[in-house]
Amino acid sequence: MKLRNKINLYTAFLFALLLLILNITVYYTFSKLLLDSELTTAHKEMKNISDNFGESLGKIPNDSLLRSYVPVNGMIEIVTEDNNSQLPAFTSADEQNLSKRKSVFYRSEVSKTIEYEERPYSFESMPIIMQDGSIANLQITKSMETATKILSILRLVLILVTLLALIPVIISSRLLSNFITKPVTSMIKTMTEIRKSGTFKRLKVEGKSKDELFQMGQTFNHMIDLLEMNFEKQEQFVSNASHELKTPLTIIESYASLLKRRGLTEPKLFTESIEAIHSEALRMKEMTEQLLMLARHHEQWNIELDPVNLNQLIDQTVNAFKNAYKREITFEAVNEAPIFIESDDKKLKQLLFIFLDNARKYSDDIISVELRKEADEIYIRIVDRGIGIQENELPKVFDRFYRVDKARSRKQGGSGLGLSIAKEIADAIGIGIQLNSATGIGTTAILLIKKFEKL
């Protein structure tokens, strides 16, 4: 069963059930009140009649007295203790069958409803003292047919009201189900189109209420954005990997063929081939790791923000780099007080390593690192005095696999992915990057941190 039909059916059923319970409650409450009111009225009439009856005993013949108090739709009678009363029961014209009902003597007042020949009656019995001093019951039985008819009419009205109320309920539940399922239907249609066409499409999200349906549409569109981004990254990864790995694989294949043909007879060729294969294998490994990192989305990087002492982190990074590559690197913190920020220290350290490594590769002179805080901005400058980059090539250096000096880059093991990874890391942890360079003078990389917190 479709969701629209389920909502329609369940809404109508629950409303009908609620209305039925409400109507039953109303009916039985009104029924009890009406019957109690009939009994109360009959009891009051009985007290008045018994008072007047006692005063008139002996003054008016009992037959005439009873006949004068016959109810319009009932019966009056006197019942003695031994049920040997000589007085007949007096009934109204339409209730003569009541005279056939067996009489019962009661020692106390009785007020109740009874049923005779499947018809409801109110029954009142009051003890009275006869002329001879004996105790008898004055009993009055009245039909409650009017009250029963009123309840029948009420029952019919409630049934009709329930049936009539279901009409707008069914219509409104239909409209409600259409309103609720419209985004779901649209989502199914969009996903079907995506499956058939192979292109990514999004829902048209409209609405000012910002309700769950609106949020569902936004979540769906966000999911499609992620899928499309990941799909593009995968396509780009496959394309880049196949293009960039082709050269080292060709080199490895060529040297492996040489080894196979002449490696055993020419030791020099053997050594050269092993070195070349080893070098290209290392470059392929590094390139593969970089490509896999770029293929991930920022949300898959598990960014963990913690308080970071920038002075300490940069100092440790510079010292580690100096010791690893035996290069002269200076670090200067312009501000005296330590600077603290909220960031991912591992990703920030990786970002610094990339720029330090680029400075090492393209410069043989001293490398300078400077930390400065001005107003609400923090600057980290990495300055090298190397070959520099031409002005027209600066906008392209963050493109994947782009090399300013392709021959020199390949010779030094560059893959053209370093700055692309740096840009991805910087975007993930909210750091801006600016490159200033001049050919023959050197390059300055500026990392800009706008938000920081002093601890």
Q: What is the pLDDT of residues 61-108, one digit of tens each?
A: 777 888 888 888 889 888 888 766 556 788 888 888 888 888 888 888
CB 311 within 8 A of CB 339: yes
Instruction: Report the SS3 class of residue 352.
Output: helix
Of the ranges 3-12, 52-61, 214-223, 438-447, the best mean pLDDT one: 438-447
Residues 6+ apart with CB under 8 A from 390: 404, 437, 439
Q: Which CATH architecture has domain 212-295?
A: Orthogonal Bundle (1.10)
pLDDT in tens, 154-190: 989 988 988 888 888 888 888 877 777 777 777 778 7
* CB atoms inside a 10 Å sphere around CB 423: 19
pLDDT tens, residue by residue, 360-412: 888 888 999 999 988 788 999 999 988 888 877 777 777 666 666 544 444 44
CB 100 within 8 A of CB 41: no
What pLDDT does residue 410 have?
43
Domain 3-151 carries which CATH code? 3.30.450
Residue-range domain boundaries for the chain: 3-151, 212-295, 302-449
* Beta carbons within 10 angstroms of residue 4's beta carbon: 18
Q: Return the top range by mean pLDDT from 149-158, 169-178, 194-203, 280-289.
A: 149-158
Closest CA to 424 of 231, 233, 227: 233
Mean pLDDT of 295-323: 79
For residue 257, what are its two tokens? 């063929």
Rounded to whole angstroms, the Cα distance separating 381 from 61 reads: 129
| pLDDT value at 343 more than 60 | yes
The pLDDT value given to residue 447: 92
Q: Which CATH number fits domain 302-449: 3.10.180.10, 3.30.565.10, 3.30.930.10, 3.40.50.10490?
A: 3.30.565.10
Percentage of the chain lying above the pLDDT 70 cut:
85
Alpha helices in 303-417 (DSSP H): 310-325, 345-361, 406-411
